[in-house]
Amino acid sequence: MKTPELTLFLWAIGLLLLGRGQGSPIPEGKSDTAHRPSIVWRGESTQRGPKDVEEDGGFWARGEGIQELTKEQMQEGSSLEQHVFGQTLPYTKFVSTSSEPKMALEFADEFERGPNYVWFGYLYKIAADWKMIDLEDSLKHRYRGAHRKEQSAVIGIPFEQIIGWYDLRKVGPEWGKNTASVTERLKKGETLDGFVNNEHFDPRYLKTRGAGGKPQLAGFHPDDDLWNSEPWNKFPGHSAPEALKKYIQENYDPEIDDERIWKWAVEPQSQEADRMANMEAQRRLGEN
């Protein structure tokens, strides 16, 4: 059985070896399904089931609830590149998903029974929106796992963004006998036997897509020469936390997006604005 740490580590090793609010609406007449999917997938082991995910309010980055991080941890935890390497799991600001169901399925539990696999765990179907960042289009040649089609979700995925899931202990034998065929059908949009609809799903998410590539969130080391190359040279400043905060500020909708997603990026500025307003009020009182 895989632990969350082990599954992320295996994902990272694979990569190294192989070289505004709801604010990404589906554009009319154009569909970049390669980098801006409408659906992403996440596989999970039996250690955490849908009830647990519901109680947690969804899938959340480990670094979302941590208040005291060092400057280095903030930098690396806000970096897409470091998230891929898998060394920032305790304080990352991203949640891994994939537009490729076969890749997501690898994060569930499985074992071999003769020539076939037997799958356990869960495969979640999730509606994508502005929070899903395409790694391949963000990191370009620095991303060595293009086949995994990772879409890194900023901060977290609320439970109401999950369309539903498959309990892999209750699906048909074809999942083990012909996994590739099954996942290809899922990728084409088919709903197979055993799918459990999330009764709390918010249909507003059906109108959105992932954000595509966001090179400003690459999070390379500040001294990395890639900052002098396209497309990264278009984004001055090499602070990963500031780049991530700016991205959230430009895209979140407080009426729709969970507070846990945007509070980290917005609250400090709001506090500063309140402080300045109070100072101005005191100054005016002093003039009267």
- How many other C-beta atoms are found inside a 10 Å radius of the C-beta of residue 51? 8
Tens digits of residue pLDDT in 25-75: 444 333 456 689 999 999 999 899 999 999 999 999 998 877 788 999 999
Tens digits of residue pLDDT in 81-124: 999 988 898 999 999 999 999 999 988 876 666 666 678 899 99
Domain containing 121 equals 4-287
CATH of the domain at 148: 3.90.210.10
- How many other C-beta atoms are found inside a 10 Å radius of the C-beta of residue 64? 19
Per the structure, how many domains does the chain have? 1
Judge whether residue 281 has pLDDT over 90: no
Beta bridge partners of 229: none
CA atoms within 13 A on the CB side of 126: 34
Query: Using CB atoms within 10 A of its CB, is residue 233 exposed (0-12), middle (13-18) or buried (19+)?
Result: exposed
Beta bridge partners of 126: 40, 162
Please tell me what DSSP assigns to residue 27: P
Tokens in use for 66?
A: 């941590």
Task: Work out the mean pLDDT of the chain and round it to a whole number.
Answer: 83
34, 173, 4: which is closest to 100 by C-alpha? 34
